[in-house]
Each structure stands twice: as structure tokens, then as C-alpha cells.
């Protein structure tokens, strides 16, 4: 299967507008865009108050939106990805089991909770992001909804981080996924050709420029089902919480999160932590130092070192955190032997979805073809690869 060509933001905007007019028989009043994200380093560190290094993508969700006064108030939403129109009540919104509507609906509920009075809202949604691949199409949908609503209704918070927090609350409390802030932060704060660093404990962040422009980002989607709602993510969180509690006892001081444990002190007492909790904690503690090393490498413009750290991160997911799988391991191992490859790992929750690969731009086409051909001789479902660049964060168009 040849590498896919993704529609541009302009193409998505044209389609969103056209579908809006067809669905709602009027012209939209706002157009917004929010990107997907890839986790470069800092796997499962966010809800442990640790560090993350990520990028926003050019691949994104684009929404054409409008408002109207109806009684009772409702959200009408068309999604081209799901080829489906759903209308949901806004008076006392309730989640619809397993539906994509919960992301925009949850955001609207949080906006109203934050003091913005909502009219009825219409949305026409387009996306160039694969769903279920670990590139956060859901956070992109949340942020694009928030941007469109703020654009039409005003009330944008003074602190931009509050917008990311609001969208995370929508996902935690309405959709029911106990995620950290990585996805929403990255989708909102992204900047073209920049890596994002976040300290999830203090929410201080930085943008680090790309060492050189000849870098391609290749997403290799295993299409192994990746669903965070099914409990694996929550189980990993629980192991991290157990380890945090136990380390507090062993170190005999308050340990609010794994971020407060240094690697050396951990290594001294780790044998007294229950095995599964210990392995999860070791992954997180080592990931935190890898993020800091990655930031230093980027400051030195040393992309090769960043690539090595990504490979270490993947091995740690495989051996310590237990959130890789055969398909992801195959992708990373195979990619490592191909010309132009700089570094790669699983991205996000794990257990399937995609790997992120940093590849020299000149080799990116051949890299995708060779990776796909090796994959296709081993697995039945063909590999989907996508080449993208580091893009800007959520915005009104």
C-alpha cells in the first residue's frame, strides 16, 4: 500500500464548510483547527506529575461551527470520519455510550460549568487524523470544539493552560478516560517546528526549536486496537499509585507522586516494592530523567541523542511498563535497521496504535515503503504509514 497523502487544512476547511451548509442549511460562523500530538518522551509520566516532551502535528481536526437559539438547547454535530449526524441535548448533557459525540459534548458542558452560557451549537467535523492510533484525535476534537466555542461566544480564560485543563476535565469526567494532560496540552500549545516540554507538576512549559528542518515525522499505525476506556490504562495508573504509596513508606517521607522520587534512592529500596508496582514505577522514574536528557540534547541540537533516548523509552515500555505489544516491537525493531531512521517508539497509552519515527526527510519515502513491505510480509492487515510535520497548536482559522 503506497504511503497515504493526507488532506491539507484548507481542504478540510472547505469540506467542513460544505457539510455544515448541507446539514444545517445556513453558513457557519467560526472555523477552528486543532492538531493531534505525538509523545516523543515521557511515557505515562503526565499523571505521575512528571515531565513530557511532545509535538503537535500538522494532521488535525477542523470544525465549522455555528450557534442558534432553540428551546430546548441542543448540540447538532456532523462527523465525516464516522459519516454520522448526532443531535444531543445541552440542558442536562449525558454521555452516549461509546460515541464520538461525547468529546464535543463534554467540552460544551465544561464550558457552561466555567460560566459561559451556551446557545444551541452546530458543528461540522473533518479530520486528517487516524482514530485509535494513539495520535490523540480525541484531544484534537476537544480543543477544536473549545476554540470554535470561544471564537463564537467569547469568555476565553486569562490563563491559556485553563483551556487545556477544561478539555482534560471533559475527557476525565464526561467521557470517562482517566488521562493526564499530555494530549490536551500538546494540541493547544504546539508550535510549528518546535518540540514541547511540560513539567506536569508545575505546568511550566517551554518550546524548543527543531535542530534542523530536514526532519520528517513518520507515523506507523499498527491498527492494533487501542482503547483507553477498557481498563488497561486505569490498571497501570493504579500500579503507579501503589508504588508511590509504598515508596513513601520506605523512604519515610511524604511522596506525593513518582516525580518526587530520585532514581538513586529508588534503586536502593526497589526490592521492597511489589514486583509489578516496582516495574511500573521504575519506567516512570527513568522516563522522567530521559525527558530531561532529551531537552538537553535538543538544546545542544543533538537529534541523534534524542533518537537514542526514544529507543530506550520504547525498550522500557516493553520490559518495565508492559504497554507494548508484538506489533509495536516489530515496528520499532524493523525501523531501527532502515536508512534515515533517527529514533522511534510507541506513542501514548500503548497496547497498540502507532509508533512515532523521526526520520531524515530525504529518506522518509523509502523508509515508509521498506517498513511497510517488511510488515506486510509478516502481518495480515497492511501497515498504514503517514508522514507529517510538527505543526501549530489549536487556533481559530
211 binds ligand GLA per the rule CB under 6 A: no
- Out of 41, 63, 182, 220, name the contact with ligand GLA by CB under 6 A: 182
**Do residues 85 and 76 touch, judged by C-beta distance below 8 A?**
yes
Count of residues engaged in binding ligand GLA, rule: CB under 6 A: 11
The torsion angles phi and psi of 256, rounded to 5 degrees, stand at: -65, -30
391 binds ligand GLA per the rule CB under 6 A: no
Candidates 43-51, 154-162, 267-275, 357-365 — which segment interacts with ligand GLA by CB under 6 A?
43-51
174 binds ligand GLA per the rule CB under 6 A: no
- Non-local (6+) Cβ contacts of 35 within 8 A are 56, 57, 58, 59, 60, 61, 140, 187, 190, 391, 392, 393, 394
Q: How far is the CB of 258 from ligand GLA (least distance, A)?
A: 13
In this structure, are strands 74-79 and 120-127 parallel, antiparallel, or unpaired? parallel
Q: Which of residues 318-377 bind ligand GLA (CB under 6 A)?
A: 348-349
- Out of 47, 197, 330, 375, name the contact with ligand GLA by CB under 6 A: 47
Candidates 103-111, 151-159, 174-182, 294-302 — which segment interacts with ligand GLA by CB under 6 A?
174-182
Candidates 115-123, 147-155, 176-184, 359-367 — which segment interacts with ligand GLA by CB under 6 A?
176-184
Q: Report the residue number, 184 or 368, with the smaller CB distance to ligand GLA.
A: 184
- Out of 58, 126, 163, 183, name the contact with ligand GLA by CB under 6 A: 183
Helix (H), strand (E) at residue 94? none
**Do residues 110 and 139 touch, judged by C-beta distance below 8 A?**
no
**Do residues 222 and 11 touch, judged by C-beta distance below 8 A?**
no
260 binds ligand GLA per the rule CB under 6 A: no
- Out of 32, 46, 164, 375, name the contact with ligand GLA by CB under 6 A: 46
The torsion defined by the Cα of 174, 176, 180 and 186, in degrees rounded to 10, comes to -60
Q: How far is the CB of 48 from ligand GLA (least distance, A)?
A: 9
Q: How far is the CB of 128 from ligand GLA (least distance, A)?
A: 19
Which has the closest alpha carbon to 310: 328, 327, 389? 328
Grid cell listed for 212? 534542523
The count of other CB atoms within 10 Å of the CB of residue 371 is 26
**Do residues 54 and 86 touch, judged by C-beta distance below 8 A?**
no
Q: How far is the CB of 67 from ligand GLA (least distance, A)?
A: 30
Candidates 25-33, 44-52, 89-97, 325-333 — which segment interacts with ligand GLA by CB under 6 A?
44-52
Q: Report the residue number, 180 or 294, with the smaller CB distance to ligand GLA.
A: 180
- Out of 44, 278, 290, 345, name the contact with ligand GLA by CB under 6 A: 44
Residue 111-130 contact track with ligand GLA, rule CB under 6 A, x = bound? --------------------
Active site residue 221: no
- According to DSSP, residue 62 is labeled E
Residue in 87, 159, 173, 183 annotated catalytic: 183
Q: How far apart are CA 142 and CA 103, in angstroms?
A: 6
- Out of 179, 285, 306, 310, name the contact with ligand GLA by CB under 6 A: 179
Candidates 42-50, 66-74, 198-206, 386-394 — which segment interacts with ligand GLA by CB under 6 A?
42-50
Is 52 strand, coil or helix? strand
- Non-local (6+) Cβ contacts of 80 within 8 A are 15, 19, 124, 125, 126, 127
164 binds ligand GLA per the rule CB under 6 A: no
Is 223 strand, coil or helix? coil
390 binds ligand GLA per the rule CB under 6 A: no
**CA quadruple 156, 197, 145, 171: dihedral sign:** negative
Tell me the sheet residues that pair with 55: 38
43 binds ligand GLA per the rule CB under 6 A: yes
Which has the closest alpha carbon to 49: 306, 261, 312? 261
The residue sitting closest to ligand GLA, measured at its beta carbon, is 179
The torsion angles phi and psi of 53, rounded to 5 degrees, stand at: -130, 125
- Out of 35, 180, 190, 343, name the contact with ligand GLA by CB under 6 A: 180
Q: How far apart are CA 66 and CA 20, in angstroms?
A: 9
Residue ranges binding ligand GLA (CB under 6 A): 39, 43-44, 46-47, 179-180, 182-183, 348-349
Q: Which residues are catalytic?
A: 183
Amino acid at each position: 500500500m503506497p504511503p497515504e497523502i493526507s488532506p491539507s487544512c484548507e481542504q478540510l476547511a472547505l469540506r467542513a464548510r460544505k457539510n455544515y451548509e448541507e446539514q444545517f442549511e445556513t453558513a457557519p460562523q467560526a472555523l477552528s483547527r486543532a492538531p493531534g500530538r505525538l509523545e516523543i518522551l515521557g511515557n505515562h509520566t503526565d499523571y505521575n506529575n512528571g515531565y513530557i516532551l511532545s509535538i503537535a502535528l500538522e494532521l488535525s481536526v477542523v470544525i465549522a461551527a455555528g450557534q442558534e437559539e432553540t428551546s430546548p438547547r441542543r448540540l447538532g454535530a456532523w462527523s465525516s470520519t464516522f459519516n454520522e449526524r448526532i443531535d444531543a441535548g445541552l440542558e442536562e448533557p449525558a454521555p452516549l455510550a461509546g460515541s464520538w459525540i461525547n468529546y464535543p459534548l463534554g467540552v460544551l458542558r465544561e464550558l457552561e460549568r466555567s460560566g459561559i452560557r451556551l446557545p444551541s451549537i452546530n458543528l461540522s467535523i473533518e479530520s486528517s487524523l487516524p482514530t485509535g492510533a494513539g495520535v490523540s484525535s480525541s484531544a484534537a476534537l476537544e480543543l477544536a470544539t473549545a476554540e470554535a466555542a470561544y471564537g463564537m461566544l467569547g469568555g476565553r480564560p486569562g490563563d491559556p493552560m485553563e483551556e487545556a485543563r477544561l478539555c482534560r476535565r471533559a475527557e476525565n469526567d464526561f467521557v470517562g478516560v482517566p488521562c493526564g494532560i499530555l494530549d490536551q496540552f500538546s494540541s493547544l500549545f504546539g508550535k510549528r517546528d518546535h518540540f514541547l516540554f511540560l513539567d506536569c507538576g508545575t505546568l511550566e512549559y517551554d518550546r524548543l526549536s527543531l535542530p534542523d528542518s530536514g526532519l520528517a515525522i513518520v507515523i506507523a499505525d499498527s491498527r492494533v486496537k487501542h482503547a483507553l476506556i477498557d481498563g488497561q490504562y486505569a490498571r497501570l495508573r493504579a500500579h503507579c499509585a501503589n508504588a508511590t504509596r509504598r515508596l513513601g513508606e520506605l523512604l519515610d517521607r511524604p511522596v506525593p507522586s513518582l516525580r518526587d522520587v530520585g532514581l538513586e534512592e529508588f534503586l536502593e529500596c526497589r526490592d521492597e516494592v511489589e514486583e509489578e508496582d516496582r516495574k511500573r514505577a521504575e519506567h516512570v522514574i527513568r522516563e522522567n530523567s530521559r525527558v530531561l536528557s532529551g531537552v538537553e540534547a535538543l538544546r545542544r541540537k543533538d537529534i541523534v541523542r534524542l533518537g537514542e533516548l526514544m529507543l530506550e523509552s520504547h525498550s522500557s515500555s516493553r520490559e518495565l511498563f508492559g504497554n507494548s505489544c508484538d506489533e509495536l516491537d516489530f515496528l520499532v525493531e524493523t525501523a531501527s535497521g532502515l536508512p534515515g531512521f533517527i529514533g522511534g517508539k510507541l506513542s501514548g497509552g500503548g497496547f497498540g496504535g502507532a509508533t512515532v519515527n523521526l526520520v531524515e526527510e530525504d529518506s522518509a519515502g523509502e523508509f515508509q515503503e521498506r517498513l511497510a513491505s517488511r510488515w506486510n510480509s509478516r502481518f495480515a492487515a497492511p501497515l498504514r504509514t503517514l508522514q507529517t510535520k510538527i505543526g501549530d497548536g489549536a487556533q481559530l482559522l
